């Protein structure tokens, strides 16, 4: 189905089911522990063996000798897989690092062997007997030291690495009010609850892999390339995922090694990465250095804005391009942005929730606050003055919808922004300094081809099959709501099956495209099924109404099940958006408001209130959407106050590679969070008239926290996380 504009008589617009805050249909399975995660397919597996991954003990160099004699003799050991024993391997197009290293070592904890044994304990114990000698080579581990040698990538996601509009240098130099600031964000870890885990089983030359993966078709295709086998010989199954945040977008070592281990052991093999191994073996969000220059007139209008971004990656392949955030957000005739990436010998950097935009907003939205202060303008007012209805770098391309101003205004009223002290460090409650902060939120919400299959059986049950995944986002529920609305049946008569590569290829979960694209694919399949049903029963598909399990037209009605012959009717289709993304900029907007209390003696920071106002098209399920936003807000607090991958710059690894050393927010850190969704639809975005919210919710949060801390204390911190040691020296005198 080719989508051009929303249908005039769109069944989704009835909103009998879509748009309602219904409970997650997978909730009972998860709360009772019966949802089957990647490591738990016990009823499908006969005599599974267990694999334990050995990670490299150096960051760069070579393996001189790999002595596994004692490992092979250990109790219960079945086989050991190494790069040498695995034979020639290819490389998936989406992997930077080699997933099975040796003899060359690219990064610390790169997998170099898999020990397969009868039990997990035996595999782990035997792995400790490996004797590995390395030849260590000097590596580069410090982004700041490598910054000057960083190079321009060919491109970044969504556009060129560098842009230039007008004459930035002259406009900035002549601007009456100027800001020139440098901001840093550290590396961050996904730290999802479910570890990377897989079970592999071979039947002849055909592989079944139960895994935890956000993008089923990507994983299948890249595994096929790596194993040098046809993709049709692989089936990936991933119906439930215990969190991903982008860390499970791509094929990782657990999946490859499970497949190799099962082939060598000639029986199913289960592999789960240990928590310490996950931090250095899998991907992370790269650290950034960002220089932002803003020039404005005395009236508060930005005339020049420049954003330069440096990050690092293994082999210098992928940039964490914070400049993406400043390019479309604020008006300004003279603009420039540059992106540079340094080659570092650290583990691979890649996508993490709102890649590029999360760290970009951490820098830009502090700079905007600093500029407002220089102009003696309220931070909300300054943002509204510089709002724009067209993409500043491509003025010929309008936003499909843009309601940033409404988000800021509604949020300010709801949050009581008028009570904010204009002068920092002047509002106290006993020993606590109180501050309010704001930040704008922006995240593109692109669309992509997505397919589904819909079945109707003789009982009137509608079953949806698509390889879309649910990473805790509520995909099962919004897909069920879509099918129920389109077919006119109650929600309880819809069955949703996800996360299986034998199903039609969907958009997958990533890039904030999943909800809108995958439900649109289900919409397309349902349109085809409606047409087939109407034709079979003699109705006009354009005029017929599907309601209460029936087709109705005029005074005639018939049960859906009457059309079913030979067990079931099946329809399959995909949504295709053509050049929609080229003609319109599909984006989401919002505003974050935060209140903090900072102890005047200790500089301890406590978050007291949080509000997010979101503009994201039709909200398909307000209950699950709210959960997505409050989870994103929580991650934003973590990035603001505590999350930081500490690099050992001598030996090249992340020191705090577990949940004891890598701190994330817990319940006690997070107050009540309020989320408001603007009442809107976006008819240009899809037949669902929806967008995404899962990544919008994190953009700007960290800056709102940092801005609130400044308002409370008068101490401006430009280097995240904002820990108390960075505040103490500049704190006002305690009373």
Give the integer Cα–Cα distance in Å for 103 and 86.
Answer: 13
The CA-based angle 437-443-444, given to 5 degrees, is 165
Give the integer Cα–Cα distance in Å for 468 and 463.
Answer: 14
Identified catalytic residue from 106, 531, 695, 729: 695
Is 595 known to be catalytic? no
Residue of 372, 325, 246, 147 lying closest to 702 (CA atoms): 325
Following DSSP, what letter does each residue of 221-289 receive, concatenated? HHHHHHHTS-GGGEEEE-S--S--TTTTSS--HHHHHHHHHHHHHTS-EEEE--HHHHHHHS-BBPPEE
Q: How far is CA 722 from CA 467, 705, 731, in A?
A: 41, 9, 13
Give the integer Cα–Cα distance in Å for 302 and 332.
Answer: 5
Length of the chain: 735
Give the integer Cα–Cα distance in Å for 119 and 596.
Answer: 49
Tokens standing for residue 366: 């502090």
Distance of CA 700 to the CA centre of its chain: 15
- Do 732 and 425 form a contact (C-beta atoms < 8 A)? yes
Q: Please, what is the end-to-end C-alpha distance for the chain in angstroms?
A: 67
- Do 186 and 480 form a contact (C-beta atoms < 8 A)? no
Following DSSP, what letter does each residue of 355-383 receive, concatenated? TTHHHHHHHHHHHHHHHHHHTT--HHHHH
H or E element, residue 634: helix 622-641
Give the integer Cα–Cα distance in Å for 148 and 48.
Answer: 51
Which residues does the annotation mark as catalytic? 695
């Amino acid at each position: 189905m080719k989508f051009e504009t929303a249908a005039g008589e769109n069944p989704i617009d009835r909103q009998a089911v879509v748009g309602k805050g219904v409970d997650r249909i997978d909730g009972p399975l998860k709360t009772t522990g019966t949802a089957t995660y990647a490591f738990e397919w016990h009823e499908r597996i006969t005599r599974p063996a267990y694999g334990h991954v050995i990670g490299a003990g150096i960051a760069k160099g070579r393996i001189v000798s790999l002595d596994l004699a004692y490992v092979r003799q250990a109790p219960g050991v079945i086989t050991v897989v190494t790069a040498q024993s695995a034979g020639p391997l290819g490389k998936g197009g989406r992997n930077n690092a080699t997933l099975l290293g040796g003899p060359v070592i690219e990064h610390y904890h790169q997998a170099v062997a898999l020990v397969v044994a009868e039990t997990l304990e035996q595999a782990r114990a035997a792995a400790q007997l490996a004797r590995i000698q390395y030849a260590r080579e000097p590596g580069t581990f410090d982004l700041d030291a490598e910054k000057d040698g960083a190079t321009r990538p060919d491109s970044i996601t969504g556009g060129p690495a560098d842009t230039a509009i007008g004459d930035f240098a002259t406009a900035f130099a002549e601007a009456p009010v100027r800001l020139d600031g440098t901001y840093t964000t550290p590396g961050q870890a996904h730290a999802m609850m479910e570890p990377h885990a897989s079970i592999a089983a071979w039947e002849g030359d055909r592989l079944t892999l139960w895994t935890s993966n956000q993008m089923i078709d990507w994983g299948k295709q890249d595994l096929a390339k790596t194993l040098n086998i046809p993709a049709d010989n692989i089936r990936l199954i991933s119906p439930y995922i215990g969190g991903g945040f982008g860390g499970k977008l791509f094929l990782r070592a657990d999946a490859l090694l499970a497949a190799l281990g099962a082939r060598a052991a000639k029986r199913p093999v289960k592999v789960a990465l240990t928590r310490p191994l996950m931090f250095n073996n899998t991907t992370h969000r790269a650290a950034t250095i960002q220089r932002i220059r803003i020039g404005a007139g005395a009236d508060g209008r930005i005339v020049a804005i420049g954003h330069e971004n440096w990050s690092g990656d293994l082999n210098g392949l992928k940039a964490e391009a914070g400049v993406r955030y400043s390019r479309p957000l604020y008006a300004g005739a003279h603009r420039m942005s540059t992106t540079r990436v340094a080659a570092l010998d650290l583990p691979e950097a890649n996508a993490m929730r709102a890649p590029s935009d999360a760290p970009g907003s951490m820098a830009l939205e502090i700079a905007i606050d600093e500029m407002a202060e220089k102009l003696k303008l309220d931070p909300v007012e300054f943002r509204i003055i510089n709002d724009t209805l067209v993409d500043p770098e491509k003025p010929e391309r309008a936003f499909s919808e843009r309601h940033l101003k409404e988000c800021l205004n509604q949020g300010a009223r709801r949050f009581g922004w008028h009570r904010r002290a204009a002068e920092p460090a002047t509002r106290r409650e006993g020993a606590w300094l109180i501050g309010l902060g704001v930040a704008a939120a922006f995240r593109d919400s692109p669309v992509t081809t997505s397919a589904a299959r819909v079945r109707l059986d003789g009982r009137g049950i509608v079953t949806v099959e698509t390889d879309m995944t649910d990473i805790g986002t509520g995909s099962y529920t919004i897909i069920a709501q879509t099918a129920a609305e389109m077919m006119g049946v109650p929600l309880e008569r819809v069955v949703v099956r996800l996360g299986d590569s034998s199903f039609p290829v969907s958009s997958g979960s990533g890039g904030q495209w999943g909800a809108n694209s995958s439900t649109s694919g289900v919409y397309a399949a349902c349109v085809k099924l409606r047409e087939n049903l109407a034709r079979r029963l003699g109705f006009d598909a354009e005029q017929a109404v599907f309601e209460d399990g029936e087709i109705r037209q005029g005074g005639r009605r018939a049960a859906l099940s009457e059309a079913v012959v030979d067990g079931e009717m099946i329809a399959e289709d995909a949504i295709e958006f053509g050049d929609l993304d080229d003609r319109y900029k599909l984006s989401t907007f919002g505003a974050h408001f935060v209140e903090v209390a900072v102890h005047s003696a200790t500089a301890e920071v406590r978050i007291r209130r949080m509000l997010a106002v979101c503009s994201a098209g039709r909200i398909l399920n307000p209950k699950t959407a709210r959960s997505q936003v409050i989870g994103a807000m929580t991650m934003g607090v973590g990035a603001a106050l505590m999350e930081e991958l500490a690099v050992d710059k001598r030996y090249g690894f992340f020191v705090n590679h577990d949940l004891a050393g890598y701190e994330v927010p817990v319940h006690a850190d997070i107050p009540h969070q309020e989320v408001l969704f603007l009442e809107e639809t976006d008819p240009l975005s899809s037949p669902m008239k929806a967008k995404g919210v899962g990544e919008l919710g994190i953009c700007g949060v960290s800056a709102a926290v940092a801005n609130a801390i400044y308002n409370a204390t008068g101490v401006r911190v430009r280097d995240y996380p904002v820990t108390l040691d960075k505040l103490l020296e500049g704190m006002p005198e305690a009373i």
